[in-house]
Amino acid sequence: MKDYYLKKADENMPVQTNRIKASDTVVEIYEDESKHMGIGFKTVGTIKDELVPGDKFILDFGDHCVGKLSFKVNRVKTYLDAPVKLKLKFGEIPYEMSRDFSTFYGTLCQSWLQEEIIYVDYEGLVEMPRRYAFRFLEVEVLATPRKIRLSEFQVKITTCADESNMEPLPEGTDPMLVKIDKVSARTLADCMQEVYEDGPKRDRRLWSGDLRVQALTDSVLFKNKELAKRCMYLFAACQKDGQYLPGCLYYKPELFYDEGMGISDYALIYAVTLCDYYENYGDKETALDLYPIAAKQVDLAMSIHDEDGIITFLDGWVAFIDWAEGIKKRTAVQGVYLYALEKMEKLARDLGKTEDADRYAKHLEITRKNAYEKLFCKEKNAFINKYDDEQYSVQAQVWMILGGVICGEEAKSVLKQSFEKATVIPGTPYMHHYVMEAMMKLGMKDEAIAYMKSYWGEMVELGADTFWEVHVPGKQMLTHMKDPLLNSWCHAWSCSPSYFIRKYFID
Ligand code: RAM
């Protein structure tokens, strides 16, 4: 089956659209406490006509780009009788440009930092072979035998998002929502390469948690059905008996996934991705083809509930849920399971798999009831319980609501109270996506709009061209890799505001 799934993935390899973006706008960065991470930038002119060793400038491409860079090196007067040595440094945000990359102290491999020293043997066009994700490019002349001119800097943008499919928002749409939608769309488009990458600067891999949010948002933006299909087939090729799907995979130079990268909630979210896909595109053939893989995830989760009827973790498997200090995850994972089960029940019924649908429906009812009894604390009006060491998190409340354990006014009061009283709050835009989903499920449209404007809107106000991997208001230097230099500033799981705006907020 693996070969079959890989073949299907190959058949759905997306076509890259190539657009050119040029710049000769030179900017200067400066320290300013009021700017994002304390660094601002301002336009100061264009590239000098003549450059000598020691000269350096920062180009601004005006927006986040993903693609390959080219430029021209020419003599000013005399023949260049030695190579020209240049240093190029790429950054998604001004803060990166303010840092000397050799000072990086983070935990991930520093080779993700986008920096090159190149030697140009002959003048003319220089085409850089690698792909970069950036808005800013610093060029430093390290050595040249004579004065040189550098010009025609341009990026051949790569994405498989067909931006002509994106409908304009209706006139009169709240201007902040228009801005948020634009940044969301840029974020998604720049992550749409040969798979839905999590971040085009760092990781560049396919994670099932990110995939779900991307494919969902894509269904209201560029509608690249093939890409969603391809990614689901790639995951299908990783299925092993008695295990969940891996949380992430690499597809180059050949399919690979890390056995130690098992994330149970992400595996369940894979099933949700297939359910969304069928709902949004109505492609029954693919849904039937991948149904067994999706069913395996929920069936496995169903088989590992403990004697109290609460989900457990397979040996060696973790849960992600969110990046939030000290977060306990059992209640939330139970919610993810119920959320996936409800969607799978519908998919099974739509595909004529009545036996499965009935089985899922039955389990859904029993498990919801049980979760309410065992995980909910009436006195505290919250899902606070021994399974999570009595921890009070927004995440647990959100997932119990999405899992259908509580609903209506009771759920609203649980959610609203958690915003004020929980000690663990969402840390990633990924988790904020599910907070938004919970609000929409409870019919809290106005609150959801306000929530989006305050959370994603704050990133826009801080100058985001694309949405970030992590954002916690008031903690701009926050990172999960020790050094924020390697945070990803165009991150897939942050792209979903467009989904809510286009599906629910406009008429
Ligand atoms: C990080 C990435 C990715 C996410 C995982 C769990 O490595 O940000 O997007 O899905 O964590």
| SS3 state of residue 71 | strand
How far apart CA 120 and CA 122 sit, in angstroms, is 6
Element (H, E) at 72: strand 56-75
| 3-state secondary structure string across 111-175 | HHCCEEEEEECCCEEEEEEEEEEEEEEEEEEEECCCCEEEEEEEEEEEECCCHHHCCCCCCCCCH
Calculate ∠ Cα 136-142-147, nearest 5°: 100
Within 6 A (CB) of ligand 1 lie 198, 203, 207, 209-210, 320, 469, 493
Q: Ligand 1 mean position to 480 CA, how many Å?
A: 10
Q: Ligand 1 mean position to 263 CA, how many Å?
A: 11
pLDDT of residue 486: 96
| SS3 state of residue 90 | strand
- List, in order, residues 6 or more apart from 353 with CB less than 8 Å away: 291
pLDDT of residue 260: 67
Q: Ligand 1 mean position to 491 CA, how many Å?
A: 9
pLDDT in tens, the chain (507 residues): 999 999 999 999 999 988 999 999 999 999 999 999 999 999 999 999 999 999 999 999 999 999 999 999 999 999 999 999 999 999 999 999 999 999 999 999 999 999 999 999 999 999 999 999 999 999 999 999 999 999 999 999 999 999 999 999 999 999 999 999 999 999 999 999 999 999 999 999 999 999 999 999 999 999 999 999 999 999 999 999 888 999 999 999 999 998 766 789 999 999 999 999 999 999 999 999 999 999 999 999 999 999 999 999 877 788 999 999 999 999 999 999 999 999 999 999 999 999 999 999 999 999 999 999 999 999 999 999 999 999 999 999 999 999 999 999 999 999 999 999 999 999 999 999 999 999 999 999 999 999 999 999 999 999 999 999 999 999 999 999 999 999 999 999 999 999 999 999 998
Point out the ligand 1 atom lying closest to the alpha carbon of residue 491.
9
| SS3 state of residue 254 | coil
The answer to whether the pTM exceeds 0.85 is yes
Point out the ligand 1 atom lying closest to the alpha carbon of residue 207.
10
Q: Ligand 1 mean position to 463 CA, how many Å?
A: 23
How far apart CA 344 and CA 329 sit, in angstroms, is 22
Q: In sequence order, what DSSP letters do the residues of 23-62 get, joined into one string?
A: --EEEEEEE-TTSGGGEEEEEEEE--SSB-TT-EEEEEEE
User: Which amino acid residue places its CA nearest to atom 2 of ligand 1?
Assistant: 198
The alpha carbon of 161 is separated from its chain's Cα centroid by a whole number of angstroms, namely 15
Cα-Cα-Cα-Cα dihedral sign, residues 343, 345, 351, 356: positive
User: What are the tokens at 200?
Assistant: 């085009």
How far apart CA 183 and CA 64 sit, in angstroms, is 10
Q: What are the Cα distances from residue 187, in Å, to 213, 373, 393? A: 12, 41, 28
Residue holding tokens 């391809």? 230
To test ligand 1's pocket by mutation, which of 203, 466, 468 has the most ligand atoms within 8 angstroms of CB? Answer: 203
Q: Are 198 and 207 in contact (CB under 8 A)?
A: yes
- List, in order, residues 6 or more apart from 135 with CB less than 8 Å away: 60, 61, 62, 63, 64, 65, 91, 92, 93, 465
Q: Are 290 and 274 in contact (CB under 8 A)?
A: yes
pLDDT of residue 17: 87
- List, in order, residues 6 or more apart from 112 with CB less than 8 Å away: 201, 202, 486
Q: What is the DSSP letter of 106?
A: -
Q: Ligand 1 mean position to 455 CA, how many Å?
A: 19
User: Which amino acid residue places its CA nearest to atom 3 of ligand 1?
Assistant: 198
User: Which amino acid residue places its CA nearest to atom 7 of ligand 1?
Assistant: 203
Q: Ligand 1 mean position to 252 CA, how many Å?
A: 18
Q: Ligand 1 mean position to 198 CA, how many Å?
A: 7
